[in-house]
Structure 1
């Protein structure tokens, strides 16, 4: 029996505009090296904008979902979150807003005075049904069997650079415990040649370099690729299984030990301005997140630390505006 709910290849249509920051569309641009991890690019000379240094898995959603929904130009640079943290800690980047895919990185090395947890995700096994290896994943009784056999060209990200990389290892270790007949998957499957930058991972399907990839759910949704939904006991999406997730860990090159936990994206404002607050409010409360395949919970955004009053006011106003737009839309549909 296949562990998939019939997700099919589809074009991704993103609908935005009801986030509360309604106005002229924002714009995105290259800021201090958007693109492959570790590469720098020159500033393109556009007018002042709110700059965001963000987790690679958010790049598409920020550029195609958030930017059109705000009236402030947005400049996005995306990397794996561990790289984001390192660039800031080493003084190589100084963005207005920083967003990471694991709030554990806000404990160290970033240690901001406050941050908001605003969305979640799930680890999935995405695959390309147009390749022989992808079809092996689709046809497998157990999704891990063709990966163990080496019959699939697999892609994953570097655990030393971003949370998706070490969360992939967590998922494999949890899966080995979940399935009674599974081998030690964390040792059996990973190979160094499988490593790709987070921002280029799913693009490997288009180039034909990989058949399948451990990815976040939103990454498969936004590219319209099929994926295997993994059990919530292993996909790191469900707070009800937090104790189970915490039994696995990975140590970063810095020596910091990261323990498994429900996936949590966090964001903070480093340089406060009206523009930055407006973008941050839409970034952390916008409907574009659900449209892009991220997971939302009622308690989001959840704040930690000494949150400035201006931030609370901005996000509260944004949520109220979003609720008003939704109410008006509902009335329009009924009448």
Structure 2
């Protein structure tokens, strides 16, 4: 392998205020059984989607959106225990739709990769930048970098950090037991505030999603596909050799990062928002990874949902761009359903 320079993505800056939680999902936005337009669509989402929904999706649709974000395992538990009842739920791992949520259908709509985001203005960040893609783990092992990560019991990023380190221990010739050498309990922060710890000086670097670094314009080390959980070709023979057991007893197997969404309360408004949410160009703008087959539906998908997303994909293809039809989504869906 050859050393690669750390990757920096310079896009627009998103303010912390714009990413704030808009309200408690499920408080408003319920729809009638006749599919009538609701006033507000409530979305309960993975923490890594919060900025993208607030600053990319919300301005792109005519329907008011109410957002609440947590780690995806927490999102699933809140719904399963009846604490929240949103119109739309979106999680960072479709495995959570197998249990505990078990909806009749869902759509996989985007992917991500695990990266090492870092603050270049700190001594620890400088050491990571010097180590680069080939040696990033060395300053972590010797304790010269203050690291942040998320709780594997609360969200997929937490257990994907464990998967990445386990795979890295096998991938690099001179690395072993990186989980044991690098990880400590006091490194854990909520997903929604992980990267903001750079501003407080609490950490030099974070095991994060690519989009989290891109959104905040932080530098990051892009990891090889064999360990960053982004490439489907490594799913069965490589990623799947890792696993983590949640407190509920559910065993999560390693695999390509896959975000999923479903509508819990069907309405014209919910379908239009879901369509824009799962086909919009804002996802790529915010650092997420898109594939041609997205959104990929699983289960008994309502015809009105399938028609809406298929029409958006057709419009995008006709216009020659990946998701150019986002701004007209609402009016398109009104005709289709």
- How far apart, CA to CA, are the structure 2 residues paired with 1:2 and 1:137? 16
Which residue of 2 is the match for residue 239 of structure 1?
232
Question: Do the aligned partners of 1:61 and 1:289 also contact (CA within 8 Å) in 2?
Answer: yes
CA-based RMSD:
2.3
Residues 3, 265 of structure 1: alpha-carbon distance in 2 compared, 3 angstrom cutoff:
farther
- How far apart, CA to CA, are the structure 2 residues paired with 1:196 and 1:267? 25
Which residue of 2 is the match for residue 275 of structure 1?
269
In the alignment, structure 1 residue 127 sits paired with structure 2 residue 118: yes
Deviates more, 1:140-149 or 1:113-122: 140-149
Within-5 A mapping of 1:144-183: 144-183=137-176
Residues 286, 144 of structure 1: alpha-carbon distance in 2 compared, 3 angstrom cutoff:
same
Tell me the SS of whatever aligns to 2:42.
strand
Within-5 A mapping of 1:84-163: 84-140=75-131, 142-163=135-156
Which residue of 1 is the match for residue 222 of structure 2?
229
- How far apart, CA to CA, are the structure 2 residues paired with 1:206 and 1:9? 18
Question: Do the aligned partners of 2:74 and 2:155 also contact (CA within 8 Å) in 1?
Answer: yes
Tell me the SS of whatever aligns to 1:313.
helix
Residues 263, 29 of structure 1: alpha-carbon distance in 2 compared, 3 angstrom cutoff:
closer
Segments of 5+ residues of structure 2 without an aligned counterpart are 29-37, 325-337
- How far apart, CA to CA, are the structure 2 residues paired with 1:33 and 1:105? 18
Question: Of 17, 20, 31, which aligns to 2:23?
Answer: 31
Which residue of 2 is the match for residue 73 of structure 1?
64
Question: Do the aligned partners of 1:3 and 1:228 also contact (CA within 8 Å) in 2?
Answer: no
Runs of 4+ in 1 over 6 A off after TM superposition: none
TM-score (structure 1 length as normaliser): 0.87
Residues 272, 33 of structure 1: alpha-carbon distance in 2 compared, 3 angstrom cutoff:
closer
Q: In the TM superposition, what whole-angstrom CA distance separates every residue of 1:33-55 from its partner, at most 9, and x where no partner exists? A: 79xxxxxxx98xxx931110000
Q: In the TM superposition, what whole-angstrom CA distance separates every residue of 1:178-212 from its partner, at most 9, and x where no partner exists? A: 01111200111110100000000000111111100
Which residue of 1 is the match for residue 53 of structure 2?
62
Question: Of 296, 302, 314, which aligns to 1:320?
Answer: 314
In the alignment, structure 1 residue 303 sits paired with structure 2 residue 297: yes
Q: In the TM superposition, what whole-angstrom CA distance separates every residue of 1:111-161 from its partner, at most 9, and x where no partner exists? A: 000000010000000000001110011112610011111111100000000
Tell me the SS of whatever aligns to 1:115.
strand
TM-score (structure 2 length as normaliser): 0.86
Question: Do the aligned partners of 1:61 and 1:288 also contact (CA within 8 Å) in 2?
Answer: yes
- How far apart, CA to CA, are the structure 1 residues paired with 2:119 and 2:21? 30
Q: In the TM superposition, what whole-angstrom CA distance separates every residue of 1:54-96 from its partner, at most 9, and x where no partner exists? A: 0000000001111111111111100000000000000000000
- How far apart, CA to CA, are the structure 1 residues paired with 2:139 and 2:21? 40
